[in-house]
Amino acid sequence: MITSVLVANRGEIACRVFRTCGELGIRTVAVYSDADENALHTRVADEAVRLPGAAPSDTYLRGDLIVKAALSAGADAVHPGYGFLSENAGFARAVLDAGLVWIGPPPEAIEAMASKTRAKKLMGLEPLETVTAADLPVLVKAAAGGGGRGMRVVRELDAIDAELTAARAEALSAFGDGEVFVEPYVEGGRHVEVQILADAHGTVWALGTRDCSLQRRHQKVIEEAPAPGLGDLTETLYDLSVRAARAVDYVGAGTVEFLVADGKAHFLEMNTRLQVEHPVTEAVFGIDLVALQIQVAEGAALANDPPRARGHAIEARLYAEDPARSWAPQTGTLHRLAVTEGVRLDTGYTDGDPIGVHYDPMLAKAIAYAPSRAEALRKLSGALERADIHGPATNRDLLVRSLRHPEFAEARMDTGFYERHLAALTTPAPDPYAPLAAALADARGHARSRFGGWRNLPSQPQIKRYDLAGTEHEVRYQHTRAGLTADGVRVVHADARLVVLEVDGVQRKFEVTRYGEQVFVNATALTALPRFPDPTAQQAPGSLLAPMPGTVVRVAEGLTTGAAVRAGEPLLWLEAMKMEHKISAPTAGTLTALHATPGQQVEVGTLLAVVETTPVSTAPR
């Protein structure tokens, strides 16, 4: 029997595996990079072993160091989680060669399926060797790994070489393998997958379907089980998935992914690991997939028939990112993260933890289960809307609006959902009374006497300024004998944490929390602005500032000071949170300064380049 498990991963999935191990009485061992020394997964494990460095290539992708850590900590098994080395056959062999139990499929099965090119050949499919105009659009994909990294949709033939280069670089950074391939891109399809679980005795379970069509950058955002509206196609998907598992003598948990379009299933890949979205399957089947993984690794046999599915579950991934700004990742302190009871929250963070630049920006997964899809939708959207999420910008509003969008609510979504609706879903809709509530709470918090700060003599209104969704708001209020007053609104109650306003005869409650200049009023984030702005803080027109902390990975070929650039022309690329981010010219003009160099580490607001707006030729350099 397994008595001690090292999780070769970090964050949410490490915490998830540790939770089940604790319930089973199994000792837990974490590995951590320098950036994760105080991370939640490091703190909750029984023991932890340092992997020197911060970059994944120096830490979580170093199989030799992880095996050494397992042996030194006395672990007798290794769980790979997802991402990093979870689909690396060489790592699986190294674990087994060290005399440890591998909580995953046989290395031969990983080898056959972890490379998407080999998996497609196994299923009778071939990637495109050359690309012509008639093949467009096409999809460039990393052969190893997943999570949308190393993936690009190409719609123009002259862009193929640049996208191949970018995909290889991103795949190499994320998975240590730069192999990519090209396949036809199916427009308007749904991303549907089947969870499988197989033992070493020949039993293979098909544990229902999941729909994962809502994606950004080809990475899933909202997932649900079962996939709605498949009808008779469900059995076809089960049969194909079991066939794929048996073809490689699969053992353990895995997922077979398809693109469903026009009533047909197109095989995409088989992921030989636990998926991020596995909790929705656990919810509808009433099982613990991690516990079953451990039992299978110990040699236990599955029952002949899988359990029956009941109800519906939906998962939303909460990211520290700004969907309105090309999904730019955000960093800073996560002051508070809490959702209502009755909704499962899987996370690798707790209140006060820093969100760094080195890893994926996913903060948590919120999972709601209910007897019907409509009830699960309402439960999850309501929980997210009311959740306390205090810290950097997140995609919370996008998630709530997505769950309530008619196309999703009626199960008419496909993988192009965000291409069609992103602008509308990210249009700011801030609460107009949030700045007033923030100002009144601040006034009460700073009251200098037990009389609440009122004066005998008439006084000028107090003025406070806030940035709300990029727009400056000025708030005026007064201290009077009757308390705090504001034009057009009756102040029913105001203290440092709670403000109650009567608006058009309806009382509205505002919970206010402040961290320095950052203020959260219910689900609205504001920034308190100084009374007198600093005139030295202005940047020269045309300044390109780093939108996030990261590393400059490359500068456009031939780009030099004095060059004419077109509006939207890519100038350089930053890598942050395992993704590449393109920095483009904001307008046509002349590059008058270039401060960025490959390999340079930059912080938010670092001046990268300056483009002076001038009439220039639109011809390419």
> Which neighbouring-strand residues pair with 501?
491, 508
The residue behind tokens 């909704």 is 343
Residues whose CB falls within 8 Å of the CB of residue 458, separated by 6 or more in sequence, listed in order:
none
Which three-class secondary structure state does DSSP give residue 398? helix
Alpha helices in 34-88 (DSSP H): 40-44, 63-73
Give the other-Cβ count within 10 Å of 479's Cβ: 18
Residues whose CB falls within 8 Å of the CB of residue 604, separated by 6 or more in sequence, listed in order:
331, 545, 546, 547, 548, 549
Give the other-Cβ count within 10 Å of 108's Cβ: 14
* Given the residues 10, 190, 216, 273, the one annotated as active site: 273
HSE-up of residue 129 (Cα within 13 Å, Cβ side): 1
DSSP state of 489: B
Nearest to 324, CA basis, from 379, 401, 436, 416? 401
Nearest to 522, CA basis, from 500, 540, 503, 552? 500
Question: Which amino acid is it at 338?
Answer: A
- Measured in Å, how far apart are the chain's first and last C-alpha atoms? 65
Question: Which amino acid is it at 538?
Answer: Q
Task: Give the helix/strand (H/E) hosting 299.
Answer: none
149 in catalytic set: no
Angle (nearest 5°) at CA 276 between 270 and 278? 80
Nearest to 585, CA basis, from 548, 538, 549, 620? 620
- 38-58 burial: b if 16+ Cβ within 10 Å, else e: ebbbbebbebbbbbebbbbee
The residue behind tokens 């079962």 is 226
- Cα separation, 427 vs 166, whole angstroms: 30
Which three-class secondary structure state does DSSP give residue 434? helix
- Cα separation, 100 vs 617, whole angstroms: 64
Angle (nearest 5°) at CA 471 between 465 and 475? 30
- Cα separation, 405 vs 372, whole angstroms: 17
Report how far apart, in Å, the C-alpha atoms of 459 and of each of 436, 456, 476, 482 are: 19, 9, 12, 14
Nearest to 437, CA basis, from 480, 395, 417, 466? 466
What six digits make up the tokens of 331?
């960093």
What six digits make up the tokens of 337?
């993260």
The residue behind tokens 């379009």 is 261
Peptide bond into 226 cis (omega under 30): yes
Alpha helices in 387-433 (DSSP H): 396-404, 406-409, 417-425
- Cα separation, 553 vs 546, whole angstroms: 13
- Cα separation, 315 vs 411, whole angstroms: 15
Would you say 20 and 297 are in contact if contact means Cβ atoms under 8 Å apart?
no
- Cα separation, 195 vs 305, whole angstroms: 14
Which residues are known catalytic residues? 273
